[in-house]
Amino acid sequence: MSDDKILHVSRRGLLKAGAATTLALGTPAFFMKNAWAQDALGNFPVNGPKVMFGFNVPQTGAYADEGADELRAYKLAVKHLNSGGGMLETFKPSSLKGNGVLGKKVDFVVGDTQTNPDAARTSARRMIERDKVIMWGGGSSSSVAIAQQYLAQEVGVIFMCGLTHSNDTTGKDKRRYGFRHFFNAYMTGKALAPVLAKTYGKDRRAFHLTADYSWGHTQYESMKEFTEKQGWTTVGNIMTPLKATDFSQYLTAVINSDADVLVLNHYGKNMVNSLSQAVDFGMRDMIKNGKHMEIVVPLYSRLMAQGAGASKIDGVLGTSGWNWTLQDAGSKVFTKAFEAEYGFPPSQAAQTCYCQTLLYANACEVAGTFYPPEVIKALEGFEFEGMGLSGKTLYRAADHQCFKDILVVRGKGPDKKKGEYDLLEVVEEVPRDVVTYDPKIFGGELGPYKPA
């Protein structure tokens, strides 16, 4: 049944009709599945032959490189939804057929978050009100993602988060209308700390430089918690502005301390600049407490490694949600399609945004409607495979956080890499069960299925 047909029947009328039909035919109540899908909500119903998606990515600011790759992935996802190909061949269980979504061709509009929560909300609201998007995604900043999740809950339009790693996104700030495929800072700490202790020893003293917003705060807290459980001591932490480009004053404070490990809770151009300056300061050649000083980047990406250069990232450990060199069927088909389209491999930001678009579209097919509450229910508790990494991924109903394996990666030096984009070596694939946690530890409430 199309959404248009659903709308023209009043809820009470449909309930009566459903009851009468049930009595007459003796059929069970599951035929009432979409009985409440008649109410207009957000931009439902979708009229006409097309359905509009919105992609709100940072085209300017510290995370612009990630935003550009996200947009490439979104365009590729739309192409595959309309015409087949890519992960539609490996994603299971899937109701996608490569002929659009619910019989409608997918079209899209693009916005610029500017890596700024206020700008992101303004851009998203414009796509919702002017362009009538039924769903939107994107973002490479947790504060931006969280701001858009609250807007999603207000207006009844689903937001499929792009790159956001703060614990808050699916913790204290989780929302019924927000979903995250990417992993989070808590998982990073839990996966990375044992590898750090094994590699560098348990008697280490760490100094953190931390991006001063939601993601940085939770990344610092999680790294502190899990490295201290391994026996490390936290010597200090300095919050640094997101717009900072010169980190020399902060690095000087680290050098003047007795720390023998520098932890950079930075991402995007922040990380490229802080890591490059730390190496230029000779910090990796220093001896502290009788040990070589080490640098750790908890959240890594190929784009950041590329920006810093192989000589700067050589041997630096961190975590990643995905890497283009993975050999599972989903990763291979996605990388092949992306390279054919753009001439180079995708980043983890591209992979998570591509997956999010397909997951939303599939949920619509499973629900048989674009009606947001039914699509949300189709996503909650959905378990799938064939979208990268080995094993199954779960979209947990309790907090809308995806759980899958996590990669611990190490930067490859100039003498180890085999090509321009071969910059990260997978050291360990940490199983999903190891990084799964009780959703109660972060609190928060999802809110209602139907916004007030």
Domain assignment of residue 371, yes or no: yes
Judge whether residue 359 has pLDDT over 90.
Answer: yes
| pTM of the model as a whole | 0.90
Query: Which of 404, 427, 445 lies at the terminal end of a domain, its last residue?
Result: 404
Tokens describing residue 58: 């940072």
- 3-class SS string, 367-402: HCCCCHHHHHHHHCCCEEECCCCCCCEEECCCCCEE
On whether both 221 and 287 belong to a single domain, the answer is yes
pLDDT at 38: 56
Provide the H-helix boundaries in 51-176: 64-83, 117-129, 142-155
On whether both 191 and 161 belong to a single domain, the answer is no
CATH of the domain at 350: 3.40.50.2300
Judge whether residue 46 has pLDDT over 60.
Answer: yes
Cis preceding-peptide flag for 45 (omega within 30 of 0): yes
Domain assignment of residue 330, yes or no: yes
On whether both 311 and 190 belong to a single domain, the answer is yes
* CA pair distance 68, 101, nearest whole angstrom: 25
pLDDT at 65: 87
pLDDT at 8: 37
8 A C-beta contact, residue 407 and residue 319: yes
pLDDT at 139: 79
The mean pLDDT of the chain is 91
Cis preceding-peptide flag for 346 (omega within 30 of 0): no
8 A C-beta contact, residue 103 and residue 369: no
> How open is the CA angle 90-95-98, to the nearest 5 degrees?
70
Burial of 178 (0-12, 13-18, 19+ CB in 10 A): buried
pLDDT above 90: percentage of residues in the chain:
86
Domain assignment of residue 397, yes or no: yes
| Residue 53 parent element (H or E) | strand 50-57
pLDDT at 27: 35
On whether both 156 and 195 belong to a single domain, the answer is no
Judge whether residue 163 has pLDDT over 80.
Answer: yes
Domain assignment of residue 178, yes or no: yes
pLDDT at 268: 87
pLDDT at 64: 87
On whether both 312 and 193 belong to a single domain, the answer is yes
Domain assignment of residue 234, yes or no: yes
Burial of 438 (0-12, 13-18, 19+ CB in 10 A): exposed
Distances (CA, A) of 176 to 15, 133, 364, 448: 26, 18, 16, 7
Q: What is the pLDDT of residues 2-29, one digit of tens each?
A: 443 334 333 333 333 333 333 333 333 3
On whether both 168 and 204 belong to a single domain, the answer is no
Query: Which of 320, 347, 366 lies at the terminal end of a domain, its last residue?
Result: 320
On whether both 178 and 192 belong to a single domain, the answer is no
Question: Could you give the number of structural domains in the chain?
Answer: 2
Q: What is the pLDDT of residues 283-334, one digit of tens each?
A: 999 999 999 999 999 999 999 999 999 999 999 999 999 999 999 999 999 9
On whether both 267 and 144 belong to a single domain, the answer is no
Domain assignment of residue 240, yes or no: yes
* Domain assignment of residue 357, given as a range: 50-183+325-404
Judge whether residue 373 has pLDDT over 80.
Answer: yes
pLDDT above 70: percentage of residues in the chain:
92
Domain assignment of residue 442, yes or no: no
Query: Which of 320, 335, 368 lies at the terminal end of a domain, its last residue?
Result: 320
Provide the H-helix boundaries in 212-267: 214-229, 248-255
On whether both 302 and 233 belong to a single domain, the answer is yes
On whether both 213 and 277 belong to a single domain, the answer is yes
On whether both 75 and 133 belong to a single domain, the answer is yes
Domain assignment of residue 26, yes or no: no
8 A C-beta contact, residue 299 and residue 210: no
On whether both 108 and 175 belong to a single domain, the answer is yes
Burial of 344 (0-12, 13-18, 19+ CB in 10 A): middle
Burial of 298 (0-12, 13-18, 19+ CB in 10 A): buried
